[in-house]
Amino acid sequence: RKEVEQDPGPFNVPEGATVAFNCTYSNSASQSFFWYRQDCRKEPKLLMSVYSSGNEDGRFTAQLNRASQYISLLIRDSKLSDSATYLCVVNLNNYGQNFVFGPGTRLSVLP
């Protein structure tokens, strides 16, 4: 079983749609969690950290369920500029030395 798994995608949605991505991780000792976005042929960039209580940043909401080892990302009112690959990232320890990346889910927002 892979350590971090994500919806396989791709997701093709119209502008204005709400879209949700799911991610599961296998190591219950995982300490910190992130969503990154990666544009085509560019480096990954942090979208948001994911906190136990859930957190929101504008149109983006992230949730963490430690009991189910599940992370989600919700994007409301999708924009064309949201088109990218979304990577779920889990850090297995407190020293920041063991980041595990999911395979990514590709999103295309269509006009």
Partner 1 sequence: DVKVTQSSRYLVKRTGEKVFLECVQDMDHENMFWYRQDPGLGLRLIYFSYDVKMKEKGDIPEGYSVSREKKERFSLILESASTNQTSMYLCATSEGSNEQFFGPGTRLTVL
Rule CB under 8 A: which residues touch partner 1? 31-32, 34, 42-46, 49, 87, 89, 91, 93-97, 99, 101-104
Of 78 and 105, the one with the shorter C-beta distance to partner 1 is 105
CA atoms within 13 A on the CB side of 63: 10
Cβ 59 to partner 1 shortest distance, Å: 20
Residue 3 to residue 45: CA distance in whole angstroms: 21
The DSSP code for 96 is S
- Which of 21, 105, 103 minimizes the C-alpha distance to 70? 21
Nearest distance from C-beta of residue 111 to partner 1, angstroms: 26
Select 42 or 79, whichever has its Cβ closest to partner 1: 42
Minimum CB distance to partner 1 smaller for 48 or for 75: 48
